[in-house]
């Protein structure tokens, strides 16, 4: 059975007892969380979130630059007033450089990707600091509380990263 078919069956069970269809569009806790797409992280469970609580914006590495469009929409149209950035231990973004992935992409797709910034990093805490600073200094992002964390994939714990 394909994974998509498994999803359909799981959704049949989920939707059969669904009772949260009347939630308002804006997130109730007025927060947007930018977090890595890593399958080992379940942001809702790790942060105690329920449907309707928060915008959870996921991308490779949980990078701020990649999430900017969503954060602008979240703040300007849907009223979020806090940002949380979460990167994690054992992240795949630590394992390559832009040049490596551009070369692999050229070899496998025969397409040049010189214009792509894949946003890898060499230090997890520093990448969190950089992304928090990116949001704090962006002219497109509101001046709201912005906090950064490192999620430990071995323990499930988050650790706050202090600004420099």
Question: Within a domain: residue 72?
Answer: yes
Question: Within a domain: residue 10?
Answer: no
Answer yes or no: is 38 a known binding residue.
Answer: yes
Element (H, E) at 78: helix 64-78
Whether residue 115 has pLDDT greater than 90? no
What is the model's pLDDT at position 163? 83
Q: What is the pLDDT of residues 76-104, one digit of tens each?
A: 999 999 999 999 999 999 999 999 999 99
Q: Is 29 helix (H, G, I), strand (E, B) or coil?
A: coil
Answer yes or no: is 91 a known binding residue.
Answer: yes
Q: What is the DSSP annotation of 85-109?
A: EEEETT-GGGS--HHHHHHHHHHHH
CATH number at residue 50: 3.40.1050.10
Phi, psi of 70 (to 5 degrees): -65, -40
Answer yes or no: is 152 a known binding residue.
Answer: no
- Please tell me the distance from the alpha carbon of residue 63 to that of residue 132, in angstroms, as a whole number: 10
Answer yes or no: is 88 a known binding residue.
Answer: yes
Q: What is the pLDDT of residues 11-63, one digit of tens each?
A: 999 999 999 999 999 999 999 999 999 999 999 999 999 999 999 999 999 99
């Amino acid at each position: 059975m394909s994974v998509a078919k498994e999803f359909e069956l799981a959704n049949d069970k989920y939707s059969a007892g669904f009772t949260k269809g009347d939630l308002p569009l804006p997130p109730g806790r007025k927060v947007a969380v930018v977090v890595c797409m890593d399958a080992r992280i379940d942001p809702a469970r790790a942060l105690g979130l329920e449907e309707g609580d928060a915008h959870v914006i996921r991308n490779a590495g949980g990078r701020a630059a990649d999430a900017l469009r969503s954060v602008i929409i979240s703040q300007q149209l849907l009223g979020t007033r806090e940002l949380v950035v979460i990167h994690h231990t054992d992240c795949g973004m630590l394992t390559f450089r832009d040049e490596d992935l551009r070369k692999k992409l050229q070899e496998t797709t025969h397409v040049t990707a010189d214009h792509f910034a894949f946003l890898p990093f060499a230090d997890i805490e520093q990448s969190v600091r950089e992304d928090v600073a990116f949001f704090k200094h962006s002219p497109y992002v509101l001046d709201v509380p912005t906090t950064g964390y490192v999620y430990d994939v071995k323990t499930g714990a988050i650790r706050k990263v202090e600004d420099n």
